[in-house]
Amino acid sequence: MMTTFNQHKQRLGGVLAQYRQGFNFWSLMPLLAVVLFAVFLIYPLVRMFTESLAGTDSDVLGVYVELFTKAYYFESLINSFLISITVTLMAGLVGVALSYFVYRFNVPGKIAIRAAVVLTLVSPPFIGAYSWILLFGANGILRKALVAGGLDFPSIVGVPGMLVVLTLQGLPFVFLMTSSALSSVDQSVEDGSINLGRTRTSTFFRAILPQLRGGISTGMLLVFVTAFSDFGTPAVIGKNVRVFPTLVYNSYINEAQGADFSQAASFSVVLLVVCIGALLLQRSYAKRHAYGVSAVTPLAPMELHGIKRILVIAAVYGVILIAVLPLITVIVTSFLKTEFQRFTWNFTLDGYTTDATLLPALGNTLLFTTIATVTCTLAGAIIGYVIARRKTRLGSTIDLLSMVPYAVAGVVFGIAFSMGFGSSPFFLAGTGLILVMAYFMRRLPYSIRSISSLLGQLGTSAEEASVNLGVPPSQTFWRITVPMIVPAIVSGALLTWATVIREFNATAILYGSSTATMTIQVFSNVSYGRYENASAMGTILIVVSLIPVVILMKVFGKDDKILV
């Protein structure tokens, strides 16, 4: 009798203690995170979906049926699939090789290489597209030189151009993911394989590569999603190949449709379904190939000599050169005069001085990017921390939700946000706020994941040690947890900054009269043939995106890992 009473009292005490601990900042966070996703992700997507069913056609599913029955639409879906899969494979191949070469061999200038890779991540793909036209188009400088030299080199405009540009655009994702996967492979695995009689090559394919599958597939997923949903690149270099994202975008802005967005919404839903499908496939694949190992002794760099070394260096720098060639082109042409929309070899600063939209666009870009980066980094750190450390019932829900934006293409984001927040009851169409919101939600998963996976690796013992030494959990967070994750926060912020600055697909749908960003103006300059202005603005965009990278390098020293 007595004992049961005491047990009751204890149990009650326990519950009370949990309740008391339970209602604080941290227990509110999971809830807030779910609300955040519900409002900024689920709501607009659902609204887009309902809109897609609310067509003026009598048959609500008509648009979907049309998509699969009408060759004009269906072909673009097939085209997009073919192109994206090719691009994904090419980026995978080149990205893995590049990453392995740089990680493994004595290639000089590794920091510069990593910086170059991040840089290519920064520039909007259609800048690359039009640079490629300048270089290898029918009238391209380099193509003409090659032709003059007797090499019959076809114009790059069209499918080859799209493949090149989209592959280069995807390269950094694969590169970065592979690099980080490589860092968890232990040297002893390679030694073990060689010791068992395998050659180095066989060892790479049979023992090392299989362990990278999770990381590589994540990178390739990102390539696929961007390639499948980019309409800026086909718009500039596409030529006669209809691709699905262009269809989505055009259906949104179609003159013939009037104010009926059901087609745009339906197409977006299809795009979303394809990307989510890719995401689910990749997740289950990565899960099957997750080995939960971490390297005690990471793979040691290998000294190559002679011809092998030269070949590897040539391959690496060849790829890097191709990747930065568009950037160089942009910078050079920004100082060239255009006449009749063609560059001449006359120096001018007109590109920088004649465009009235340059300063406002720069201001907008800096403002939105900064706000989005700061909020995204903060929220990402907090939510990532909550997922990793505060075991809550909402944890798996948040985890799942934070996955979705990976698969939501920029166009779809734009359309969903425009439908969700553009008009009543929010009236945010064209405002800076709606842009920042979209940027925030697109990048949030990246921030969350980088923090939660780092914390998972670090383990809890340092934090427990702090609590054990009498420092309450709230202070422990600031004094132990935060300092330990600062490097990850910083490099995550850097990546957010770089990718938000170049955002185009969602921005194109959401921007308004006073909120045009640099990428929008570059695109409009390219479309109107104001190439010197486009190049000048592109150059400024490149410089601006580089600033934080440079600052970080100064602050954190020349640790090349900061760029990953």
- Which residues 128-187 are close enough to bind other proteins by CB under 8 A? 133-134, 137-140, 155, 157, 186
Q: How far is the CB of 292 from other proteins (least distance, A)?
A: 6
Quote the distance between the C-alpha of residue 353 and its chain's center. 32
388 contacts: CB under 8 Å, gap ≥ 6: 451, 452, 453, 455, 456
Candidate list 473, 490, 553, 564; residue touching other proteins; CB under 8 A: 473
Q: How far is the CB of 531 from other proteins (least distance, A)?
A: 9
Candidate list 180, 466, 491, 505; residue touching other proteins; CB under 8 A: 466
Which residue's CB is nearer to other proteins, number 103 or number 252?
252
Candidate list 8, 21, 23, 28; residue touching other proteins; CB under 8 A: 21
Which residue's CB is nearer to other proteins, number 464 or number 559?
464
Candidate list 34, 46, 78, 480; residue touching other proteins; CB under 8 A: 480
382 contacts: CB under 8 Å, gap ≥ 6: 29
What distance in Å separates the CA atoms of residue 93 and residue 72, rounded to the nearest whole number? Answer: 32
Residue numbers 514-543 binding other proteins by CB under 8 A: 514, 516, 524, 527-530
Candidate list 53, 62, 97, 242; residue touching other proteins; CB under 8 A: 242
Sign of torsion, CA 94 97 101 104?
positive
- 293 lies in the site for other proteins, by CB under 8 A: yes
Residue numbers 202-221 binding other proteins by CB under 8 A: 202, 206-207, 210-211, 213
**Residue 223 corresponds to which tokens in the numbers above?**
């390539």
In residues, how long is the chain?
564
Q: How far is the CB of 196 from other proteins (least distance, A)?
A: 3
What distance in Å separates the CA atoms of residue 446 and residue 439, rounded to the nearest whole number? Answer: 12
Which residue's CB is nearer to other proteins, number 174 or number 485?
485
CB 387 within 8 A of CB 395: yes
Candidate list 128, 238, 432, 445; residue touching other proteins; CB under 8 A: 238
What phi-psi label fits residue 557: left (phi over 0), alpha (psi between -120 and 50 degrees) or beta?
left
What distance in Å separates the CA atoms of residue 86 and residue 83, rounded to the nearest whole number? Answer: 5
Q: Is the peptide bond before 425 cis (omega within 30 degrees of 0)?
A: yes
**Residue 367 corresponds to which tokens in the numbers above?**
């403002």
Pick the piece of the chain touching other proteins (CB under 8 A) from 15-23, 265-273, 365-373, 548-556. Answer: 15-23
Pick the piece of the chain touching other proteins (CB under 8 A) from 85-93, 311-319, 446-454, 477-485. Answer: 477-485
- 291 lies in the site for other proteins, by CB under 8 A: yes
What distance in Å separates the CA atoms of residue 57 and residue 62, rounded to the nearest whole number? Answer: 7
Which residue's CB is nearer to other proteins, number 11 or number 314?
11
Nearest to 410 by CA among 543, 272, 278, 314: 272
Q: How far is the CB of 464 from other proteins (least distance, A)?
A: 6
Residue numbers 358-417 binding other proteins by CB under 8 A: none
Pick the piece of the chain touching other proteins (CB under 8 A) from 28-36, 44-52, 108-116, 427-435. Answer: 427-435
> Per-residue b/e over 116-126, b at no fewer than 16 CB within 10 Å?
bbbbbbbbbbb
**Residue 487 corresponds to which tokens in the numbers above?**
């490097």
Residue numbers 69-128 binding other proteins by CB under 8 A: 70-72, 75
- 339 lies in the site for other proteins, by CB under 8 A: yes
Candidate list 266, 334, 418, 491; residue touching other proteins; CB under 8 A: 418
Q: How far is the CB of 363 from other proteins (least distance, A)?
A: 14
Per the listing, tokens 């050169």 go with: 321
- Helix, strand, coil percentages in the chain from 3-state DSSP, rounded to 5: 75, 5, 20
Which residue's CB is nearer to other proteins, number 25 or number 291?
291
CB 39 within 8 A of CB 399: no
What distance in Å separates the CA atoms of residue 483 and residue 454, rounded to the nearest whole number? Answer: 13
**Number of residues forming the site for other proteins (CB under 8 A):** 103
Q: How far is the CB of 277 from other proteins (least distance, A)?
A: 25
Candidate list 356, 554, 555, 558; residue touching other proteins; CB under 8 A: 356
Which residue's CB is nearer to other proteins, number 300 or number 378?
300
Candidate list 147, 304, 374, 429; residue touching other proteins; CB under 8 A: 429
Which residue's CB is nearer to other proteins, number 490 or number 546?
490
Candidate list 475, 550, 551, 561; residue touching other proteins; CB under 8 A: 475
Which residue's CB is nearer to other proteins, number 62 or number 315?
62
Per the listing, tokens 């809890």 go with: 460
Residue 254 phi, psi (nearest 5): -65, 130
**How many alpha carbons lie under 13 Å from residue 140 in its C-beta half-sphere?**
22
Candidate list 2, 359, 469, 555; residue touching other proteins; CB under 8 A: 469
Residue 430 pairs with which residues in a beta bridge?
511
Residue numbers 252-271 binding other proteins by CB under 8 A: 252-256, 258-259, 261
Candidate list 58, 393, 424, 554; residue touching other proteins; CB under 8 A: 424
What distance in Å separates the CA atoms of residue 261 and residue 251, rounded to the nearest whole number? Answer: 8
Per the listing, tokens 């309902």 go with: 50
Pick the piece of the chain touching other proteins (CB under 8 A) from 35-43, 92-100, 164-172, 242-250. Answer: 242-250
